[in-house]
Amino acid sequence: MENTQTVSLSGSGRGCVLVVEDDRTLAAGLRQLLESVGHSVLSCARVSTAQKTLRDRHIDLVISDFNLEDGSAEDLITWMSAQEASPPVLLVSAACELPGSVTQAPIVRGVLRKPAAPETVLGLVEDLLSGNLVRAAFPRLVGAAERSLLLEE
């Protein structure tokens, strides 16, 4: 069974962020970035572990990759949307295309393409946790068909 890594920052008063990322290096980088500005961070790589964490802990924001070890962010978002109250979700993915059912889900407040600049991630996290941002504006990801049109000579 996967262990959820917990970091508690005494007196931080910042948000508790759940990072759902199956790339351990990226998860560690996000954790370090968020901790550097005072957030408490939990991390996991599986949808099932994220669900358990969301049931058992108070989470203020979820940052999730799309493709995960035992499913996808779509599975997690569908489950979260069925719960009584769910924190906002920031998707961070290298995928060229994400299903509209995911990007347009009410709890998904932003989508970033990997690699995302640290200041962009922190800016969105701060806005989402402060409640100042109802829905993050994000560029539509270019799909394979559009990419081939753009690259035609």
Residue 102: its pLDDT value, please?
Answer: 80
CATH number, domain at 86?
A: 3.40.50.2300
How much is the pLDDT for 48? 96
Does residue 98 have a pLDDT over 50? Answer: yes
Give 131's pLDDT tier (boundaries 50, 70, 90).
confident
Question: Would you say the pTM of this structure is higher than 0.85?
Answer: no
- Residue 44 has phi, psi (to 5 degrees) of -155, 170
Task: Please check the confidence at residue 6 and state whether its pLDDT lies above 50.
Answer: no
What average pLDDT does range 63-89 have in this prediction? 92
Average pLDDT score over residue span 3-14: 42
CB of 7 within 8 A of CB of 51?
Answer: no
Query: Band of the pLDDT at 93, cuts 50, 70, 90?
Result: confident
Structural domain including 78 reads: 5-151
Count of structural domains, the chain: 1
